[in-house]
Amino acid sequence: MNSDLVIKDLRVSVEDKEILKGVNLTVKAGTIHAIMGPNGSGKSTLAYTLMGHPGYTVTGGEVWYQGQNILELEPDERSKLGLFLAFQYPVAIPGVTVANFLRAAINAHRAEEGKDPKETAIPMAQFRKQLREQMAALGIDESFARRYLNEGFSGGEKKRIEILQMAMLEPKMAIMDETDSGLDIDALKIVAQGVNTLYAQHPEMGVLVITHYQRLLNYIKPHFVSVLMDGRIVREGGPELALELEEKGYDFLREEVASA
């Protein structure tokens, strides 16, 4: 089975407006791949579509992962296949604690057809230990385990909890949607370190880092950089491409694309 994420001519509309106009992109297993692009280029649409948000209508193309066209799968099935999306705007779930939510997610991953969920559930002690360790590594106070998920959390706290979820679920292909937005430099370093640690522990993992700014890429070093503009990938390169964009801005590319 192919553990690369292969996006072929992906076209997506939101409320009848075409946002992605034929995206072709391969995120190789074991690599960190950055997608950069200006506001409105379709970055978040790509992230949500890969995870299966019902508000995005796929009008063409395929996304292959683990031998399946994942566009035919429900979001929870994609998650069980190993996909993970770190949200730009994590959603609050009132009355559901971080710990209970994570346990439900882990147990959903462990569930097997035809088996009693009680049999496959993670033992409580093991879960608690794992949660405590991961929270400590991300500098999250233990009290957060009992707080309602994302309710009243600051922007930085929400992003750390996203990384915590990622660390607990150990995905094979992680998509980070503007994880740097709204973070100060200290929070950014902690979040980046969390991603790097996880990647070091799971070198076979693929990471798709979606960002507007080069800043995040100082801390999460990409192997590849692709530039998304007006619903298409317009340039691909190595880490030097991110630096070039930082220096020149997106306008120079826009002019190049227009004149090409």
Partner 1 sequence: MTMKTFPPLGEISDALVIETSQAAGEPEWLTEQRVEAWRFFASAEPPFWRRTDLSKFKPEQVIAAADAAATSLYQEEDLADQGVAFTTLAQALRSHEALIRQYLGAAIEPTRHKFLALNAALWHDGVFLYVPKNVSIELPLTAVFSMPIPGGAIMPRNLIILDDGASVTFVEEYHSVAASDQAFAAPVTEIFLGNDSTLRFVAVQTWGEDVYHIGAQKARVGRGAALEWAAVNLGARVQHIEAETALEGDGSRVEWVAATFAADHQNLLTAPWLRHIGAKTEGHMDFKTVVKDQSYTTFDGMIKIERQSRATVSRLEEHALHLSPKARSDSIPGLMIDTNDVARAGHASTSGEVDEEQLFYMRSRGIPRDEAIHLIVMGFFEPVLDRIPNDALRQRIAEMIEAKI
Catalog residues that contact partner 1 under the rule CB under 8 A: 51-55, 74-76, 78-80, 84-85, 87, 90-96, 100-101, 104-105, 108-109, 148, 165, 169
Question: Between residues 108 and 243, which has the closer beta carbon with respect to partner 1?
Answer: 108
Residue 232 burial (10 A CB sphere; 0-12, 13-18, 19+) = middle
> Shortest approach of partner 1 to residue 93 CB, angstroms?
6
123: left (phi over 0), alpha (psi -120 to 50) or beta: beta
Question: Between residues 94 and 203, which has the closer beta carbon with respect to partner 1?
Answer: 94
Question: Between residues 165 and 214, which has the closer beta carbon with respect to partner 1?
Answer: 165
Q: One-letter amino acid identity for 250?
A: Y
Query: How far apart are the C-alpha atoms of 20 and 13, rounded to whole Å?
Result: 7
Question: Between residues 99 and 243, which has the closer beta carbon with respect to partner 1?
Answer: 99
Question: Between residues 104 and 136, which has the closer beta carbon with respect to partner 1?
Answer: 104
Question: Between residues 29 and 169, which has the closer beta carbon with respect to partner 1?
Answer: 169
> Shortest approach of partner 1 to residue 131 CB, angstroms?
14
> Shortest approach of partner 1 to residue 82 CB, angstroms?
10
> Shortest approach of partner 1 to residue 150 CB, angstroms?
9
